[in-house]
Amino acid sequence: MASKETSLPGVSFVMPVLNEADYIENAISSVLAQEYAGKKEVVLALGPSTDGTTEKVLALAKADPRIRTVENPKADIPIGLNLAIKASEMPIIVRVDAHSELEPGYTAEAVATLQRTGADNVGGIMHAKGRTAFQATVARAYNSRFGLGGAQYHSGSQEGQAESAYLGVFRRSALEKAGYFDETIRRGEDWELNLRIRRGGGKIWFDPKLKVNYWPRENWPKLVRQFFATGAWRAELVRRDRGRNPWRFYAPPALVLSIIASVTVAILQLTGVLHGKLGLFVSLIYAAPALYILLLIWLTFVSDKVRPWGLRPLFLVVLPTMHLSWGSGFIFGLIKGAKGVNDTSRTDD
């Protein structure tokens, strides 16, 4: 009779890495600690880090033969993922982010779900966590259905088919059939790949029992840069695929435009250019920003039953930062395209 190890499919964990000295050891440890009886390997695509990340990874690889590395000189995430996948050997590919930590039973549950559902890719909950007050506040926004548009992997509770998956546990055959990650996309590459898998007849599955801990950006400038780049590349995907796109893509840019319009109308009213019935009519533009402010106040001071009162006002800064940066990036990407936009939030400054 075959042992449990030989009866389970082998798993390759793939991870693109750049300037993650504060997180990489925990990320790798969470992978090696997976309670999975099948064969395991870890393949890391190393970008040109300047904070000592590469040295830490190479030391870990020297001590554990399950860890292997490939060079990713361009540092782009989809290029690194493809390099790691093609260098790996197992039939199941588990994508891991250096800012993430897998729960111990994640892999076993995901592989069981793949086999049970016949899906091509399985993902679960992205559970954001924070070490500092700022990061914890960003994590709260991530975990809220109002933070990132209510995608299943942020706040879903019902198992079933999905449009995309956070990180993802793939069948290698599905990746090969889809043609791997699109290397011309710097952000949103996971959503685009899952779209191609679905259009090719594949199935993406959401399982809320799966949970990945994620550590957001640590400060305000990095958060702004990350979300601007993400919004710009989401717009690039909309430009490339003019078919059906989720409504939540358009909410942040609509907010940005409503604020710009409100400021413009206010100036025209204060200078007397707009007045009378016309001035009163265009005042309706203030409704959207006003409702957004009320929502912020409610989320900060009413719906939050856990956070200490002294830390709650930070949410009034963090959530609009995410929405307005994303929305501004989206408008920029829709007009100019995103090919020149890089996510510089992974630099070590």
pLDDT band at 1 (very low <50, low <70, confident <90, very high): very low
User: 99-123, pLDDT tens digit by residue?
Assistant: 899 999 999 999 999 999 999 999 9
The verdict on 184 and 264 lying in the same domain is: no
The verdict on 268 and 209 lying in the same domain is: no
Note the pTM of the prediction, 2 decimals. Answer: 0.85
83-88 contacts at long range (C-beta below 8 A, 24 or more positions apart): 83/45, 84/14, 84/15, 84/16, 84/43, 84/44, 84/45, 85/12, 85/14, 85/43, 85/172, 85/175, 85/180, 86/180, 87/43, 88/12, 88/14, 88/41, 88/43
The verdict on 46 and 184 lying in the same domain is: yes
Looking at 47-56, 115-124, 338-347, which range is the least confident one?
A: 338-347
- Number of Cβ within a 10 Å radius of residue 166: 23
| Domain span at 179 | 10-216
Q: 315-336 vs 287-301: helix axis angle to the nearest 10?
A: 140
Whether the CB-CB separation of 1 and 80 falls below 8 Å is answered with: no
Enumerate residues 6+ apart whose C-beta is below 8 A from 55.
Answer: none
37, part of any domain: yes
Three-state SS for 166?
A: coil
278, part of any domain: yes
The sign of the CA dihedral 79, 179, 177, 118 is positive
Please give the Cα distance from 20 to 307 (Å, whole number): 28
Residue labelled with tokens 């930590």: 101
1, part of any domain: no
- Number of Cβ within a 10 Å radius of residue 133: 13
Residue labelled with tokens 């780049």: 229
- Can you read off the two tokens belonging to residue 51? 């904070």
The verdict on 64 and 208 lying in the same domain is: yes
Please report, for the domain that includes residue 205, its CATH number.
Answer: 3.90.550.10
pLDDT band at 322 (very low <50, low <70, confident <90, very high): very high
User: 199-223, pLDDT tens digit by residue?
Assistant: 999 999 999 999 999 989 989 999 9
Report the domain count for the chain.
Answer: 2
| Nearest alpha-carbon partner for 125 in 137, 112, 142, 108 | 142
The verdict on 53 and 112 lying in the same domain is: yes
Mean per-residue pLDDT over the chain, rounded: 89
The verdict on 212 and 255 lying in the same domain is: no
User: 273-282, pLDDT tens digit by residue?
Assistant: 888 888 788 8
